[in-house]
Amino acid sequence: MPIGERLTRFIAAALATVGLAAVLSGCGGGGGMTVINLYNAPQENLSRIVERCNQLADGRYRIALNTLPRDADGQREQMVRRLAASDPGMDVLGIDVTWTAELASANWIRPWPDALRTEAEKGVLEAPLETATYEDQLYAAPYNTNVQLLWYRTDLMPEPAQTWSELVATAERLASAGEPHYVEVTGAQYEGLVVWFNSMIASADGSILNEAGDKVELGRPAVTAMKQMRDFAASAAANPSLSNTQEDTARLAMESGAAFAQLNWPFVYASMVANRPDIAENFAWAPYPGIDSPGRAPLGGANFAISAYSEHPEEAFDAALCLRDDESQLMAAVHDGLPPTIESVYADPAMADPYPMRDAILEAIKTAAPRPVTPVYQNVSTVTSALLSPPRGIDPTGDERRLADQLKDALESKGVLP
């Protein structure tokens, strides 16, 4: 076969393949199946949920699962870069609870139409529902929620502490008895430090921003919260590497036996049972501690939003509804340990075994402290964590004023991110 002919054949074959791929990836129309691109944080068993929804879709569309980077900043960055470029390649977006306002304000995600909104809100707990709402519009369907609890060893602290001062007192008693005396908390310079501060200030009856998210509140409750954080950081309860502790470091410190308590998300339970069955016997949970009384737990989670640049919004909304219905949420809870946002799912018998702490979670969600709702949350978070780090060096009154100034700039998008 002469080379010219071979080349022609090769090009023809290549063109045919490209054409076929175009049909398969189906820009709708021509009878090919519509593909709905789902972008989500890594979740081990999400493909099972996607498969189930694809079967239910019965040929109307096919959801393709695309996995975002592992860390939240990386996920957000990839999304906002593509949204800023009006990329039509993303349809359903798995977004963190703190991004709703930002993406909605930039007109990058669609408000849910009334008919679908009712469906997405049915039976959903109030706190997670609010994280999906911005300026009275629903911008995402709640998928999973999360709360931190106090995890402790009953052999070292028979009665769970209700306040941070009680935790410190217990730590001092254990330290003088030569027992493990650390309380692990996320004190590194990142979102975890903001989560901690936000919870402390909520327990002191204050907030970082006002409810509308356009004015700085702080004030006396912030000073109280900062003082409590600094006192904790300087006490026997604080691990020397507090200023470097993230969720996973905290879990490991507790599993290694150095700590008698930690403030963390429920994923630590399964890990403790698997890694240290000997400690797991005495491993219990209690509500998040507060300033003078039990506190308000940090609230986390993720929701599904529809990209403003999606070319198949109807199918995308339908897919999102399926990805977070009762059955999907139960699967996410049982296989991946993600707490559901639909209240009735907690009562499912299948939850009992993997989720012995489900009542405590349900209870904590009802009083949990959401993070500030503002389009500039990214700035609020970076500035706050930079200012409060390291917790040991906090100067309550001075730092309250400095933080207020910097947050004010951030709200006017004049602020500079460190």
Partner 1 sequence: MSTDVKAAERRLGLWLCAPAAIFMILVAGWPILYSIWLSFNRYDLRFPQDQQWVGLENYQTVLTNEFWWTAFGVTVLITVVSVAIELVLGMGLAIVMHRTLVGRGLIRTVVLIPYGIVTVVAAFGWFYAWTPGTGWLAALLPDGSAPLTQQWPAILIIIGAEVWKTTPFMALLLLAGLALVPDELSRAAAMDGAGRWKRFVSITLPLMRPAIAVALLFRTLDAFRIYDNIYILTNGAQNTGSVSIITYTNLVSGLNLGIGSTMSVLIFITVAIIAFIFVTVFKTGTPGTEGRR
Site residues (vs partner 1, CB under 8 A): 73, 76-77, 80-81, 84, 102, 105-107, 189, 240-241, 244, 375-376, 378-379, 382, 386, 409, 413-418
Give the Å distances, CA to CA, from 149 to 70, 282, 402: 23, 16, 30
Shortest approach of partner 1 to residue 417 CB, angstroms?
5
Give the Å distances, CA to CA, from 95 to 289, 380, 393: 28, 18, 33
Long-range interactions of 348-354: CB distance < 8 A, separation 24+: 354/270
Cβ nearer to partner 1, comparing 101 with 200 = 101
Residue burial 251-275, b: 16+ Cβ < 10 Å; e: rest: bbbbbeeebbbbbbbbebbebbeee
List, in sequence order, the alpha helices (H) in 85-163: 100-105, 114-121, 126-131
Collapsing DSSP to helix, strand or coil, 70 comes out as coil
The span from the CA of 121 to the CA of 142, in Å, is: 8
Length of the chain, please? Answer: 418
Shortest approach of partner 1 to residue 196 CB, angstroms?
17
Cβ nearer to partner 1, comparing 235 with 245 = 245
In SS3 terms, 169-214 reads as: HHHHHHHHCCCCCEEECCCCCCHHHHHHHHHHHHHCCCCCECCCCC
What single DSSP character describes residue 379?
H
Shortest approach of partner 1 to residue 239 CB, angstroms?
11
Shortest approach of partner 1 to residue 105 CB, angstroms?
5
Cβ nearer to partner 1, comparing 55 with 244 = 244
Cβ nearer to partner 1, comparing 107 with 344 = 107
Cβ nearer to partner 1, comparing 202 with 411 = 411
Shortest approach of partner 1 to residue 211 CB, angstroms?
19
Cβ nearer to partner 1, comparing 209 with 376 = 376
Cβ nearer to partner 1, comparing 72 with 116 = 72
Shortest approach of partner 1 to residue 106 CB, angstroms?
5
Cβ nearer to partner 1, comparing 56 with 106 = 106
Shortest approach of partner 1 to residue 295 CB, angstroms?
28
The span from the CA of 268 to the CA of 253, in Å, is: 11
Give CA 76 to chain center in angstroms: 12
Give the Å distances, CA to CA, from 58 to 51, 53, 413: 11, 9, 46
DSSP string, 112-133: PPHHHHHHHHTTB-HHHHHHTE
Shortest approach of partner 1 to residue 382 CB, angstroms?
8
